[in-house]
């Protein structure tokens, strides 16, 4: 099966040199090179077509603007925190710590999830409280544990918009992306979400194996795959091409603590949803530890062991969880299979060079 990816660099160079403007490409800088490169992305092998929302269709101008905003610390009240501060490109846009550190070194409440393949999810955050990626993208700007010192979300968004509107370069970019230079919180969210929807992961060893390349997985990974889709029943929650059904569930993580995070019940006020959190995508899971909503599980081996023992006992534990009685070798095979879910499609999104920022 042919690998789907962004237009090949070789093809772009051939076109540019044929047009006689090769020198321009060499001098254009990282920002312009990004704009030329970022056409509507074709998903890598193993992923479906990106469901671009009608209210926010793809444009390379919006994606370019969103990328600059994503790496810009000026979105925070004191200019110290960017979105990338908690979603590191080197770690598949996740964080290396249990909970991230925001403005004034304040600790967040939950683990910073990877942004890879967020395009395939509607409801966002661990507790599924945000109905869209556009809305989620601007929530950290208004969170006092993340990016603001403002007293209210309205004040946080207003002051952020005022800072951006005061930058002539940003007004130009907003005009290119939206038709006029009006800077609004809604437009900031749309630009950020457009960029984030280009962060894809596919064409992993697992995908190549599924496409017929029997050498793509090691014998241990093949055994782990059989366990994942078989006796271990991992696929009950981690299903579909993105390895998550996106449906919140209680797996018992942290529920034995005196001040346990109650999860989705705080949003719905339905007691039966106590301790419910969305199952994360397992794409790039080898890079995105520590794991679970609280970052309390440090390694993939520890994560497998949590489920091997049947999760954490509590009154709301998902009935699909029970002791698996896996051997040490079987647990290691599962870990090896999880490593085979690392792919490509997000590595293009690196921080812009300082001189290309507005």
Cα separation, 177 vs 174, in Å, equals 5
At 41 the pLDDT is 85
Instruction: Note whether 160 and 188 are same-domain residues.
Output: yes
Q: Name the average pLDDT for the chain.
A: 90
How many domains does the chain fold into?
2
In a domain, 2, yes or no: no
Instruction: Note whether 166 and 250 are same-domain residues.
Output: no
Name the band, by pLDDT with cuts 50, 70 and 90, for residue 40.
confident
Please report, in angstroms and rounded to a whole number, the separation of the first and last CA atoms in the chain: 41
Instruction: Note whether 56 and 139 are same-domain residues.
Output: yes
Alpha helices in the chain (DSSP H): 9-18, 22-27, 29-37, 60-70, 133-138, 153-165, 168-178, 185-196, 205-210, 219-228, 265-268, 300-308, 328-339
In a domain, 124, yes or no: yes
Bridge partners of 124, per DSSP, are 130
CATH number at residue 39: 1.10.760.10
Instruction: Note whether 87 and 163 are same-domain residues.
Output: yes
Instruction: Note whether 151 and 212 are same-domain residues.
Output: no
Instruction: Note whether 96 and 164 are same-domain residues.
Output: yes
The domain in which residue 314 lies consists of: 205-339
Cis amide bond preceding 188, omega within 30: no
pTM listed for this prediction:
0.88
Contact call for residues 25 and 33 (beta carbons, < 8 A): yes
Name the band, by pLDDT with cuts 50, 70 and 90, for residue 27.
very low
Instruction: Note whether 194 and 316 are same-domain residues.
Output: no
Q: What is the mean pLDDT of residues 51-64?
A: 96
Instruction: Note whether 167 and 272 are same-domain residues.
Output: no
At 28 the pLDDT is 38
In a domain, 25, yes or no: yes
Q: What is the dihedral of CA 247, 110, 50, 357, to 10 degrees?
A: 170
In a domain, 111, yes or no: yes
């Amino acid at each position: 099966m042919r690998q789907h990816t962004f237009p090949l660099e070789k093809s772009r160079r051939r076109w540019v040199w044929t047009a006689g403007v090769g020198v321009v490409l060499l001098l254009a800088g990282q920002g312009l090179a990004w704009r030329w490169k970022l056409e509507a992305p074709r998903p890598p092998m193993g992923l479906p077509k990106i469901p671009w929302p009608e209210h926010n269709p793809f444009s390379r101008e919006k994606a370019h603007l969103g990328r600059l905003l994503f790496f810009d610390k000026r979105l925070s009240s004191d200019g110290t925190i960017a979105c990338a501060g908690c979603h590191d490109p080197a770690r598949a846009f996740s964080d290396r710590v249990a909970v991230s550190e925001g403005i004034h070194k304040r600790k967040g409440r939950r683990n910073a999830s990877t942004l890879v393949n967020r395009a395939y999810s509607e409801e966002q955050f661990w507790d599924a409280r945000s109905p869209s990626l556009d809305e989620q993208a601007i929530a950290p700007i208004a969170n006092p544990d993340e990016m603001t010192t403002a007293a209210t979300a309205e004040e946080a968004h207003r002051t952020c918009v005022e800072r951006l509107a005061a930058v002539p370069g940003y007004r130009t970019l907003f005009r290119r992306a939206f038709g006029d230079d009006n800077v609004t919180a809604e437009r900031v969210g749309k630009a950020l979400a457009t960029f984030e929807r280009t962060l894809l992961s596919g064409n992993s060893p697992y995908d190549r194996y599924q496409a017929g390349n029997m050498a793509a997985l090691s014998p241990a990974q093949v055994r782990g795959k059989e366990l994942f889709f078989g006796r271990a029943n991992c696929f009950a929650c981690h299903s579909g091409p993105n390895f998550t059904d996106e449906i919140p569930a209680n797996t018992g993580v942290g529920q034995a603590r005196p001040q346990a995070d109650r999860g989705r019940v705080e949003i719905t006020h339905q007691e039966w949803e106590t301790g419910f959190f969305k199952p994360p995508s397992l794409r790039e899971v080898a890079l995105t530890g520590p794991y679970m909503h609280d970052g309390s599980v440090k390694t993939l081996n520890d994560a497998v062991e949590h489920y091997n023992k049947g999760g954490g006992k509590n009154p709301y534990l998902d009935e699909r969880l029970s002791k698996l009685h896996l051997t040490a070798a079987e647990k290691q095979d599962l870990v090896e299979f999880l490593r085979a879910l690392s792919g490509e499609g997000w590595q293009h999104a690196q921080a812009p060079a300082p001189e290309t920022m507005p």
